[in-house]
Structure 1
């Protein structure tokens, strides 16, 4: 992963890596843990880099490793219903956010599940080093041999040929005993490939020297606050706390110099350590990123309290930071300027982080994440390479707001014009399905698109930042994310004064405004420019989202609570009953015998039960169906998670799963869609508003080589 900043005068460097011995004399023993006990593989727990790297040997058996065991949330269908309602004006739940304790009691892992995991880890000789306050993560450490035994893995040393560095990783998917599979979401820390690094760029020879400057150049608060009407909102962040999501440290003196230069005063910045990390005594190459984030938030919302959460630069560090921020519940806004391209990150780790983001949404915490600085090819400088269309995580999470980048022109301190920054991150997620609120984009398909909004990010129209002892000009979407975070701090101050709910999960509300008559007055619609694969257009696009803020008008629209959802004000609801099958019976579904199942042969997406169609290896047809009535005037979205597991090979479709709404075929999957884990699918059912329709899954299998279609956590959300 990398922070999404571009500095006009900063050197690129790779952060230190954990040492991996390639001259191994003591290898791990062959791993056959509890051979008599059935085990369940945990999907998406192998870093994709393994497939593109050269194995160099075993990790020494006694090398110490640290892992994060992520636990599953409960009642995910109920949680999705709550998140839709709490963000929708007019619903009984609107603005009635949960406390961390309430969230954990309703949707978090149980204490019994935590105790079960801890007992297992201890029995394998591992030391449990911590449990997150929201019970979603259990951290443990032990030798490579103990880790291999506990999770049925083998740890090897690899050479990444593109990045020319060594790393360690598990060769195959981690597994746990079948009784743990019902509560364990995934294991992170089995590899150290995903190391977050700074991505600052040097200017061209004509642009600027490499040395820092004695005086500021680039936009200061007067310019960017004036351009986006942030100075007209009537708020300065008083009483609001913003959390900065960081993997490096800062110098308090640098922040004070910035404040002094621009006459800003506010609460002192405070560091919050995660897993013992605190870089402030000796910041690394990411120092400029941390100071950029803090200074931009200060420039927009000077009176806001800033908490700099600093975590180890690892998958485990990221997961633990997410869990700690939401469990602490000290901030109502989180600003994220670090990310990685989706294809280079394990879905298991992304899901663990996204689970904490769901908790943030339930608690009324807004999250803004940089969309990336490599355009629609986010893996350009990483293992997957520049030929892969990819978006950035966490910006691709459906439970935060992804912020893209523009080139801003001003006249004095007034807005003049804006165009897309040519390397602003954007595109289509391959991991997360399109959320129900992502409407009006004009983009077809069932997957989430990025970004949602944007603001200035081009280094050519960069920001004056004081860092590493001098003034530099920074750009990147990691400048855009804290600008929007500062805006959210302004909004929350105004909302409190008006006795209105805080912004909370911002995207559903921003999309509601964008799909209303207020759009033209609340956003600057950016319609010129492109990245590698996408071009700007009127309204939404995959370079700049809906555009940049006109802060005062946007605040008025959001505070009014009168902007109807795109459907015209339909009450949000979820129509599918028993969508997670956790009742242990089919009803109100109708299903073939044996389809609703809690056996260990195939894992559920969440909980213990799922619908398992086919998998017999002989000619067979299974069905699963439920009838719902979509209210008139409503938008409706069918979503579900599916895992296709097959013994077939090649791309020929022998065994098929057909998804229908009435007589309309929504999709056909086959053995050719087999993957190691669940993927979410979603389909627009708005055409059935005012009608009763049957949602039906039909699985057909030919006479040889089995294919299983596993369906879980189905929902029909209306809004």
Structure 2
């Protein structure tokens, strides 16, 4: 594997750092010492004046509600299903507050650190200062070390960081106190081929072979209208990608680079160039018309965290492909949690993430500090909010059809020591209380490797870094099909893939890989910790995920409930747009269910309140019924309609209610929206009250059921 070198630090002993923090009570931040410290030789102090950059990660808010939302948004039939949030909505509901950011900024400035930037979602505050200032701010000491396993110098904090107790409620962790961690690509070459041995003509698997074997050529999609992010710590040359496209007759939007923290390797790509070009070329082969954005970041904890947050706040992509990682025992849990929090936002926004599971089997630290004696899995593949992709050896017939498949002997897989098993990870072969890896797999064995054009010549490459972009290309295909069917994008893929795998159609939607093993786990029927559920039968899997045939029942309509937060129990209006104070848990007007409802008007003076939400009704739906519970409470008398509630779909008025419809309690109302099938519709409630005598229009448990 190619490893990006980190700059060696001075090993000379310096003037002592100011290591005594302020006298105010402090709280230790767990998991902030790099595990390599325990295995390395201490060489002295880091010079007190040496500049160090740190990332302070802030805690998300209302995490229980966030977990409920992430479950609901991928559960067919749930009110929130497919109703993803914008970055602004996510930050408003679950992100750190501006007050928390200001509190952290103030503290860092008091310690002499310079805040360089704050992520747009307020999850990360980046700062820079001298080693002495950093030590003062975080109550630790920076020392120079030598890693004897890697023969690499690095700096690190000797003990856990700490912060003043008044910051403990808002700070998740701090990264950048060491520069040991480095992400490695998951790229492998055949045993018979010396790495970087180039050829003038391609050998290895061509796009027609892997798209044929996995039925990617039978979905009727090519990625048109979708965008995929490639997660990279190195660069590429556009000319190599063009040569690949020309060789295989592929065409699509030009690949472009998005710089993170000033990184842009494209003018002089390093040892990871083959990885970047592999990722791009496999996505191109699977989904040629998809737009590709190559996010390039510094290879550091801070770079990884900032890249994750930039991708979700940019919100330009629906799929992310990750082929770089580090073994869990060699990475601080604080940094992994910071990245996983950004992945939670990705899931809430409907972004699918596929990560390579690693190329060292169930001993992912084989080529790093912790060594081959440790059972370990790779991060980010172990995150519960992305899909870990394992590796197989694929055999293809002469007609480019699927022949057979077995587990690749060094495909990453096993049990996380950091993340608990998510609720969706169930099924035959799934056991224990911790997250297991991988979730799915595809061809990765370099002996059945891919033809890749890189650095001016043809190579044969494998590795789970080939499997992750293949699945990412499939997700781009699916998102194109879903849009055409009026459905939501794939979003967090694992819950939906596990649902299909646990159903009666498993055998027709996945190739269940049952032979082969890595060091500690064997492939077997159903789920296993080498190949997950197996590789895709892309056309059948797409049909299952869309909920029917290529032309689903009811002419392309899957039965679903489309309104999100219809009971207002999130305690906020989002994703509704509402007048101030409309979403309320006031005891003056009872909710139909739960504690929250939408209360329009009731002021006894001239006033107008509105409540609206935009939904897309799939084409071909034979039925679309809007239902809601309405309680009209009024001080008006007689049969004259003074105060009115109007219900509209776009500019069409569906119904009007007034003070004349007052009742002692709630009455369920049903309105027909079937004529809007195939359209995006804004459902709007407008309450208008005249200058005297109040009328309250109280709305709860809104639903729009289609089928």
Of residues 312, 317, 327 in structure 1, which corresponds to 2:298? 312
- Alignment partner, residue 127 of structure 1: 114
Does 2:183 match 1:191? Answer: no
* Structure 2 counterpart of 1:456, from 436, 439, 443: 443
Query: Which residue does 2:21 correspond to in 1?
Result: 33
Q: Deviations over 1:147-197 (max 9, x none)?
A: 000111100001111111111000011111111111000000000000224
For normalisation by structure 1, the TM-score amounts to 0.76
* Rounded Cα–Cα distance in structure 2 between residues aligned with 1:468 and 1:478: 18
Correspondent of 2:504 among 517, 524, 528: 517
Q: Call closer, same or farther: CA 1:48–1:517 in 2, change over 3 Å.
A: same
RMSD (Å) for aligned C-alpha atoms: 2.0
Q: Which residue of 2 aligns with 1:147?
A: 134
1:443 to partner: Cα distance: 3.2
Question: Where do residues 168-567 of structure 1 align in structure 2 (5 Å cutoff)?
Answer: 168-198=155-185, 200=187, 203-204=190-191, 206-207=192-193, 211-412=197-398, 413-560=400-547
Measured against aligned partners, the alpha-carbon deviations of 1:24-73 in whole angstroms (never above 9, x if no partner) come to 243313x11112x0011111000001111111100000000101000000
CA contact (8 A) 1:198 1:285 kept: no
Q: Which runs of 5+ in 1 are unaligned?
A: 1-11, 564-568, 579-719
Structure 2 unaligned regions, length at least 5: 553-559, 571-707
Tell me, in whole angstroms, the C-alpha distance in 2 between the residues paired with 1:198 and 1:521: 32
Quote the offset at 1:473 in angstroms: 0.4
Aligned 8 A contact 1:203 1:210 in 2: no
Q: Is the 8 A contact 1:89 1:561 kept in 2?
A: no
Alignment-derived partner of residue 93 in structure 1: 80
Q: CA deviation at 1:561?
A: 7.2
Using the alignment, how far apart are the partners of 2:310 and 2:193 within structure 1?
42
Q: 2:4 aligns with which of 9, 15, 37?
A: 15
CA 1:441–1:140 in 2, change beyond 3 Å: closer, same or farther?
A: farther
Q: Secondary structure at the match of 1:219?
A: coil
CA contact (8 A) 2:8 2:152 kept: no
Give the distance between the partners of 1:313 and 1:468, measured in 2 at CA: 21
Distance of aligned partners of 1:273 and 1:391 in 2 relative to their CA distance in 1, 3 Å threshold: same
Q: Deviations over 1:629-648 (max 9, x none)?
A: xxxxxxxxxxxxxxxxxxxx
Q: Distance in 2 between matches of 1:260 and 1:119?
A: 55
User: What SS does the corresponding residue of 1:235 show, helix, strand or coil?
Assistant: coil
Give the equivalent residue in structure 2 for 1:594: none
2:598 is matched with none
The 2-side partners of 1:156 and 1:488 are apart by 45
Could you tell me whether the CA contact under 8 Å between 2:185 and 2:465 is conserved in 1? no
Aligned to 1:105: 92
In the alignment, does 2:163 pair up with 1:163? no
Q: Secondary structure at the match of 2:245?
A: helix
Q: Larger relative CO (CA 8 A, sep 6+): 1 or 2?
A: 1
From 67, 92, 95, give the equivalent of 2:54: 67
Would you say the 8 A contact 2:328–2:417 is kept in 1?
A: yes
> CA, structure 1 residues 235+126, in 2 after alignment: closer, same or farther (shift >3 Å)?
same
8 Å Cα contact 2:397/2:403 also seen in 1: yes
Residue 207 of structure 1, CA deviation: 4.6
Q: Which secondary structure does the structure 2 equivalent of 1:307 belong to? A: strand
Q: Kindly state the Cα deviation for residue 200 of structure 1 after the two structures are TM-superposed.
A: 5.0
Partner deviation per Cα, 1:224-243 (whole Å, 9 max, x = no partner): 00000000000000000000
Q: Distance in 2 between matches of 1:561 and 1:94?
A: 17
Distance 1:292 1:207, change over 3 A: closer
Distance, in Å, in 2 between the alignment partners of 1:98 and 1:342 is 30
After TM superposition, give the deviation of residue 15 of structure 1 in Å. 2.3
1:569-584 to 2 correspondences below 5 Å:
none
Q: Does the 8 A contact of 2:415 with 2:434 survive in 1?
A: yes
Q: Equivalent residues in 2 for 1:671-682 (5 A)? A: none
TM-score, normalized by length of structure 2?
0.77
Q: Helix, strand or coil for the counterpart of 2:525?
A: coil
Cα deviation, 1:318-350, whole Å, max 9, x if unaligned, reads 000000000000000000000111011100000
The whole-number CA distance in structure 2 between the counterparts of 1:230 and 1:432 is: 32
